[in-house]
Structure 1
Amino acid sequence: MKDFGNQERRVFNLKDYGIKRGLAFGHYRYKQVKPGLENHQHIGALEICYCMKGQQHYKMGEQFYELNGNDIFVVPPNAMHSTGEFPEDKGELFWIQLLLDSSEGKLCNMPNNQSDFLLAALLDKSQHVFKGSFQLKFILEKLMLQLENFDSLLSKIMVDQLIVQLLLDTVILCNKPEQSPPLVKLNELDRFIHKHLHRMIYVDEMANLAGMSVGYFKFWFKSKTGMPPREYVNRLKIEQAKLDLLTSKRVTEVAFGLGFGSSQYFATTFKKFTGTTPKSYRSLQRE
């Protein structure tokens, strides 16, 4: 069976595996940012994106959508979309593209009324970011493993079952009411971080603010945001740095003004999250 990509990014053509209403199933796990996605569309197919770790952005028209770890986003058929001015971020993301037209055949051998029901429910939630479940990662990883080792009728049955389970669990999740209590703590932490962006922010003081031990706080924070506290803080600092670099401040001033111990560490962190150096970013913005 055919797939293309490398260890960091893999894409499987689902039609090669007998999935009649399937287009593609993909996965990436990036250790650093990559160039952004150009504007593109999926004719007649919706795309479900599962952000497992890190962050990803999508732009449709003038609307931006931000995905963090454990977020799901559904792109409607034929919608032009890209990552806008953002790169493909470091982290982990799965996606699957499925055709809506039942004349293309039965999706995973389900009766058309059942597959149409699931896809319509997902289409109804398109252009909304909603919380997933890390349990989905087990399904997604099993699906990728089956596609990588596809060699028999048993593999085909397993792939069909996993896609159906993935769709069913996603529909259930997208209809769950949003949970607000964790957001209260996260909003309080956000305010604290923004207030102290000019200095080093320590994980233990964030844990104290949340009323948790440092060990539990790290676990809790990552489960809610998809990234460790230190990475989250650095991301916010880099967003502020983008604004500061548009002023007359020198790069060193921007670095020290955001609590970085050296301009070299600042440049390394900036490139990790944007794919470019502070000086290059400033030059591009001024062109």
Structure 2
Amino acid sequence: MEERKVFNLQDYGVSRGLSFGHYKYREVKPGLTEHLHQGAVELCFSMSGRQTYMVGERLFELKGNDIFIVGPDVLHSTGNYPEDKGELFWIQILVDHGKGRLCNLEKEQSDFILNGLLEKSECIFAGAFQLKLILGKLALQLAKEPSVLSRLVVDQLITQLLLETLLLSKDSSPKAASTRLKTINDYIRQHLHRIIYVDELAGLVSMSTGYFKAWFKAESGMPPKEYVNRLKIEQAKLDLLQRRTVTQVAFDLGFGSSQYFATTFKKFTGYTPRSYIRSLEE
């Protein structure tokens, strides 16, 4: 299966569609350089992992189940960050009705949907499980040869996707950080020097290990082990700046070997520890 796939929506008769895309990365990729989408709004749906966007001087960090909207002609990039490990969908829609009808909607209807979504540009709000189903169906449909039937289905799915996103944006009151997640985060930071087991984290918040894994991924957007390793690698970046050896940093953070540490470091940063040090010296 391809890690990244992009479809030209106009090939499917969506006259106001630019692209629909999906990636699922097992390790980080080079970051997105600063760019814009002329006359088009972009909706980004993070399924898992994390992704960072820089809009002007503002930094936005998406986790699993987050939605982020970028308005037309707005410069954005991933800043100094890579395209992160995880899964993300996006869709770009032209806002000008003069470019054609959007999925055969009347002008009043398409303007209502798009204007409502634009009101939520440059803010992060929570998605819902039904969006992943719609996005998955849309990706499967676009992978087929265009036909009259496929175009009808694509129109219906895009309309459903935009409507569901609009409804979710209206119910996007800020969510207070989970007290249990904060407890776990604090505990991990206090024990970065050793191996941290999932069952001990589950016990910390009085959950079974199985339930904890599902709960934690829903809360943080990633499995517990990945979350722990991300925090360890962030600490490793600081430790390497202090001119400590790679082996010393690896063992001080509870990694069983410097090789496993280097593999994990590259997965989350795109660099080996030594190439990361060299990049800071340039």
- After TM superposition, the score normalised by the length of structure 2 is 0.96
Match of 1:196 in 2: 191
Give distance in 2, aligned partners of 1:144 and 1:60. 27
Give distance in 2, aligned partners of 1:127 and 1:136. 20
Match of 2:40 in 1: 45
Instruction: Check whether the contact 2:49–2:222 (CA below 8 A) recurs between aligned residues.
Output: yes
Match of 1:12 in 2: 7
Give distance in 2, aligned partners of 1:37 and 1:181. 30
Give distance in 2, aligned partners of 1:74 and 1:180. 18
Query: What does 1:140-219 correspond to in 2, within 5 Å?
Result: 140-178=135-173, 180=175, 183-219=178-214
SS of the aligned residue for 1:108 comes to coil
2:73 equivalent to 1:89: no
Match of 2:93 in 1: 98
2:16 equivalent to 1:21: yes
CA shift for structure 1 position 134: 2.3
| Counterpart AA for 1:261 | G
C-alpha distance after superposition, 1:72-103 (max 9, x if no partner): 11111111111111111121110000111111
Give distance in 2, aligned partners of 1:88 and 1:151. 30
- After TM superposition, the score normalised by the length of structure 1 is 0.94
* Pairing partner for 2:264 from 241, 249, 269: 269
CA shift for structure 1 position 151: 3.4
Give distance in 2, aligned partners of 1:58 and 1:90. 14
Instruction: Check whether the contact 1:52–1:134 (CA below 8 A) recurs between aligned residues.
Output: no
| Counterpart AA for 2:35 | H
2:268 equivalent to 1:253: no
SS of the aligned residue for 2:80 comes to coil
* Pairing partner for 2:31 from 27, 36, 41: 36
| Counterpart AA for 1:46 | V
Query: What does 1:128-143 correspond to in 2, within 5 Å?
Result: 128-143=123-138
Instruction: Check whether the contact 1:57–1:86 (CA below 8 A) recurs between aligned residues.
Output: yes
Instruction: Check whether the contact 1:67–1:73 (CA below 8 A) recurs between aligned residues.
Output: yes
Gaps of 5+ in 1: 1-5
| Counterpart AA for 1:159 | V
CA shift for structure 1 position 150: 3.6
Give distance in 1, aligned partners of 2:150 and 2:237. 48
Match of 1:231 in 2: 226
Give distance in 1, aligned partners of 2:97 and 2:197. 54
Comparing 212-221 and 128-137, the one that deviates more: 128-137
Pairwise CA RMSD: 1.4
Give distance in 2, aligned partners of 1:41 and 1:116. 21
| Counterpart AA for 1:12 | F
Instruction: Check whether the contact 2:52–2:81 (CA below 8 A) recurs between aligned residues.
Output: yes
Instruction: Check whether the contact 1:50–1:94 (CA below 8 A) recurs between aligned residues.
Output: yes
Gaps of 5+ in 2: none
C-alpha distance after superposition, 1:22-60 (max 9, x if no partner): 110001111221111111110111100011111111111
Match of 1:62 in 2: 57
CA shift for structure 1 position 117: 1.1
How many corresponding residue pairs? 282
Give distance in 2, aligned partners of 1:177 and 1:60. 20
Give distance in 2, aligned partners of 1:228 and 1:23. 33
Distance change >3 Å, CA 9–CA 177, structure 1 → 2: closer
CA shift for structure 1 position 166: 0.2
